Amino acid sequence: MDTTEITREASHAGSWYKDDPQELEDELTDFLNLADKTSPEGKYLKGIIGPHAGIMYSGKCAAWAYKNIDPSIYKRVFILGGAHIYDIPGGCLTLCSKYATPLGDIRIDTETTKILSEQEGLQYYGKKYDEHEHCIELHLPYIKKIFEDKDIGLVPIMFGALTFEEEKKFGEILAEYLKDPETLFIVSTDFCHWGANYNFYPHDKAITEDIQEYVEHLDKQGMDIIETNNGKEFVEYCNETKNNICGRHPIAVYLEALKAAGMNETTETKFVNVDHTMQLKSKEDSSVTYASAYTILKE
């Protein structure tokens, strides 16, 4: 399929994040300056996990993941997101040849997307659907900021609701790319969406009377499992708790890719920053949890 002349517009610029290039550049610089580089020196970074809300809300947290990237190492970046708006089957690949951002365009690795499109369960989806979704777009300004003018190839994949067997299958497909030392993986996700805006009110008062403390407890359970690189256990946690983690399927695919690549034991995944839209006090409140993590090779 010919994707040579198709550009995905920065459809959420001016609403979810600044559309003025200098203002956006300054904001991201400020957030990165406030964050610490948390991955150990000399350790190879294989992937990061980061949030995708409006940058004014989640940008500070996301900076803690992006701060760890050494842009000189990588030539290709995979970014995995979960569909919010459309009920899509399996995994979807962009038809576009580049993604626009206020800071400049990012080239799509169309050769890789074409190869992936030949795999069962992976197919192209239309430009308008691509532009309506936000979870990949909200990472693009940081990707462009970190890599600046370096010519990297971006491989965005949007996943719908998957069974564990499908997550395992897609993990196996992506494992070969994960092994490539010049490829970085980014997983886009927010964690618990609690309150009236999301019709989600879990609160076990036997654990704590405080709503905010309970949400933090709920999310930490999931993050602790992700840190073990165990995809099956993470899926079981999501099914049991019903925690509405919007990137649960990309997370599971990523963890299964680590396993299929033989890297779940040789890598370490660690959460380094957690933030919230607001501190919850009552059922009238609503808040989203943001979290950043990295995956490094242990040796």
Contact 68, 38 (CB under 8 A): yes
pLDDT-derived band at 42, boundaries 50, 70, 90: confident
Residues 219-270: tens digit of each pLDDT: 999 999 999 999 999 999 999 999 999 999 999 999 999 999 999 999 999 9
pLDDT-derived band at 4, boundaries 50, 70, 90: low
List phi, psi (to 5°) of 186: -125, 130
pLDDT above 50: residue 125: yes
Work out the percent of the chain whose per-residue pLDDT is above 70: 99
Average pLDDT over residues 23-37: 97
Domains present along the chain, CATH in parentheses? 7-297 (3.40.830.10)
pLDDT-derived band at 134, boundaries 50, 70, 90: confident
What are the tokens at 258?
């680590």
List phi, psi (to 5°) of 274: -135, 135
Contact 38, 129 (CB under 8 A): no
Identify which of 15, 102, 100 has the alpha carbon closest to the alpha carbon of residue 55. Answer: 15
Please give the pLDDT value at position 129.
87
Separation CA 157–CA 173 (nearest Å): 12
Q: Which of 16-25, 81-90, 194-203, 275-284 has the lowest mean pLDDT?
A: 81-90
Work out the percent of the chain whose per-residue pLDDT is above 90: 91
Residues 171-204: tens digit of each pLDDT: 999 999 999 999 999 999 999 999 999 999 999 9
pLDDT above 90: residue 2: no
How far the first Cα of the chain sits from its last, in Å, is 41
Separation CA 238–CA 3 (nearest Å): 36
Residue with tokens 């080239």: 107
Q: What pTM did the predictor assign?
A: 0.96
Q: How far is CA 258 from CA 23, 148, 224, 294, in A?
A: 37, 28, 16, 13
Cα dihedral 12, 18, 19, 22 sign = negative
Average pLDDT over residues 159-163: 94
Separation CA 199–CA 146 (nearest Å): 36
Average pLDDT over residues 119-130: 91
Classified as helix, coil or strand, 100 is: coil
Please give the pLDDT value at position 3.
47
What are the tokens at 104?
């400049």
